[in-house]
Amino acid sequence: MKISIIGTGYVGLVTGACLAEMGNNVLCLDVDPRKIEILNNGGIPIYEPGLEVMVKRNVAAGRLAFTTSVEASVAHGTLQFIAVGTPPDEDGSADLQYVVAAARNIGRHMAEYKVVVDKSTVPVGTADRVREAIREELAQRGVQIDYSVVSNPEFLKEGAAVDDFMRPDRVVIGADDERALSLMRNLYQPFQRNHERIIIMDVRSAELTKYAANAMLATRISFMNELANLAEVMGADIEHVRKGIGSDPRIGYHFLYPGVGYGGSCFPKDVQALQRTASENGINLHVLNAVERVNDAQKFRMLQKLDKHFDGDLQGRHFALWGLAFKPNTDDMRDAPSLVIIRGLLERGATVTAYDPIAVHEAQRILGNVEGVRYASSPMNALEGADALLIVTEWKEFRSPDFPGIKAALKRPLIVDGRNMYDPALVRGFELEYDAIGRK
């Protein structure tokens, strides 16, 4: 099938590469010429495990190409995937300007039937806006061409995006007409060889399903963070509690890890956007309001712990910080809790040496050339002269560290672990103080 992907970011590039991998002929469009230049030169503008190899293989096979030409992109695919960003507007609602611009471009240039597939995360009713934008452009041109608009939200996780796309738990397709639905079914058929994964529904339900999924996952995290803070006060251990409740299949083990709050480009913005949609429609989502408040507070948990350990005075202290990305296996720093922690330390007069295997460039770009933040080339190098070690992202390479080396390097043998990576007894066995989230 001939497919165009509009927007070559985390979702667009992964979608394009994976659909090409299944034998489709894919053209990816981006308005950012820098990204397209990198891709056309055989590079990858983002870090995502397995993606580079897949992109190269499909480019070499002639199934995947990149362009900045809107005309070429609209002409290419019968299926036009919109995978542009939907960042938060000032009031928290999803900013749909990129989605609408993409739709207008399609309307301006299409010459035959197209299925416009919305893969970006968008509020309920956006498909109607997309449909309307295309209709207006066609009317302007004085032409009548058939098209369909469908919703096909994406559920991939960064850091595991290729795997998630290739082996989806489910493929949600919201469609209101049979012609588009049949093309979408054919497209996703190869992804469900073992069992039925395609879930078909109306467009508005598909749009809401995406927000409901992210909101539910965010709710689990905030719930566990709140319980972890309670466990700490009560002398219980949240890791035991997590296993104790996760073993109930009605609850399950996933997304019950307490930490320094959820970050990333999606949970924070999607929780806010759903709240906004609800309030615009006269509904107050009480649970989600609390989820967001708990998360905002949890990002300060590590600073509170440091205040406790250093008698409320961090002036002149220096800290080693392991992990900058909002989660492992990505270079994405959007809404990363590390940014709140670093800024909080600087405000309190402390300095930081940070280490991250992948995200240092992104961190530098976002934080700028700020005084008081340095970057180390290895986890152990970050420890030099530090008053304590702070763990913010659970990269695998931090799992079995050289504890005696850590103890020797730190001025005070203290690890504050925002991701509960270690067995407290093991760490304390190396005569290190250990303070994790919700642990004894």
Q: Which residues does 102 contact at the CB level (< 8 Å), separation at least 6?
A: 6, 7, 82, 84
Distance CA 169, CA 383 (A): 41
Q: Find which of ligand NAI, ligand UGA, none residue 217 binds, CB within 5 to 8 Å per kind.
A: ligand UGA
Q: Find which of ligand UGA, ligand NAI, none residue 326 binds, CB within 5 to 8 Å per kind.
A: ligand UGA
Number of alpha carbons in the 13 Å side-chain half-sphere of residue 89: 14
Which SS3 state, helix, strand or coil, does residue 388 take? strand
Q: How many residues bind ligand NAI (CB under 6 A)?
A: 26
- Asked if 323 is part of the footprint of ligand UGA (rule: CB under 6 A), the reply reads no
Residues numbered 131 to 190 that lie near ligand NAI (CB under 6 A) are 154, 156, 158
Range in contact with ligand UGA (rule: CB under 6 A) among 13-21, 252-260, 380-388, 428-436: 252-260
Distance CA 204, CA 31 (A): 28
Distances 272 to 74, 267, 276, 278 between C-alpha atoms, Å = 32, 8, 6, 10
- Asked if 156 is part of the footprint of ligand UGA (rule: CB under 6 A), the reply reads yes
Which of 3, 17, 20, 29 contacts ligand NAI by CB under 6 A? 29
Q: Which is nearer to ligand UGA, 9 or 125 (CB)?
A: 9
Which of 47, 147, 267, 310 contacts ligand UGA by CB under 6 A? 267
- Asked if 271 is part of the footprint of ligand UGA (rule: CB under 6 A), the reply reads no
Residue 281: CB atoms within 10 A of its CB come to 9
Tokens 């498909």 belong to which residue? 127
- Asked if 256 is part of the footprint of ligand UGA (rule: CB under 6 A), the reply reads yes
Closest contact distance (angstroms) between CB of 185 and ligand UGA is 22
Q: Minimal CB distance to ligand NAI: which residue?
A: 9
Which of 85, 264, 323, 401 contacts ligand UGA by CB under 6 A? 264
Q: Which is nearer to ligand UGA, 172 or 266 (CB)?
A: 266
DSSP string covering 309-336:
HTTT--TT-EEEEE--SSSTT----TT-
Closest contact distance (angstroms) between CB of 164 and ligand NAI is 9
Closest contact distance (angstroms) between CB of 324 and ligand NAI is 17
Which of 51, 55, 74, 102 contacts ligand NAI by CB under 6 A? 102
Binding mask 106-145 for ligand UGA (x = CB under 6 A): ---------------x------------------------
- Asked if 1 is part of the footprint of ligand UGA (rule: CB under 6 A), the reply reads no
Q: Identify the H or E element spanning 174.
A: strand 171-174
Is 266 among the residues known to form the active site?
yes
Q: Which residue, 120, 170, 190, is CA-closest to 149?
A: 120
Q: Which is nearer to ligand NAI, 23 or 33 (CB)?
A: 33
- Asked if 24 is part of the footprint of ligand NAI (rule: CB under 6 A), the reply reads no
CA dihedral sign of residues 322, 326, 329, 332: negative
Q: How far apart are the first and last CA of the chain?
A: 56
Binding mask 258-277 for ligand NAI (x = CB under 6 A): -------xx-----------
Distance CA 19, CA 188 (A): 9
- Asked if 8 is part of the footprint of ligand NAI (rule: CB under 6 A), the reply reads yes
Residue 102: CB atoms within 10 A of its CB come to 26
Q: What are the percentages of helix, strand and coil residues in the chain, rounded to 5?
A: 45, 15, 40
Looking at 27, 162, 187, 266, which residue is catalytic? 266
Q: Identify the H or E element spanning 279.
A: helix 267-280
Number of alpha carbons in the 13 Å side-chain half-sphere of residue 310: 25
Which of 214, 229, 275, 277 contacts ligand UGA by CB under 6 A? 214
- Asked if 93 is part of the footprint of ligand NAI (rule: CB under 6 A), the reply reads no
Three-state secondary structure along 402-436? CHHHHHHHCCCCEEEECCCCCCHHHHHHCCCEEEE
Bind-site residues = 30, 35, 86, 121, 155-158, 210, 255-259, 263, 269, 327, 334
- Asked if 17 is part of the footprint of ligand NAI (rule: CB under 6 A), the reply reads no
Q: How many residues bind ligand UGA (CB under 6 A)?
A: 20
Interacting residues with ligand UGA (CB under 6 A): 121, 154-158, 214, 217, 221, 255-257, 259, 262-264, 266-267, 326-327
Q: Which residues are catalytic?
A: 266
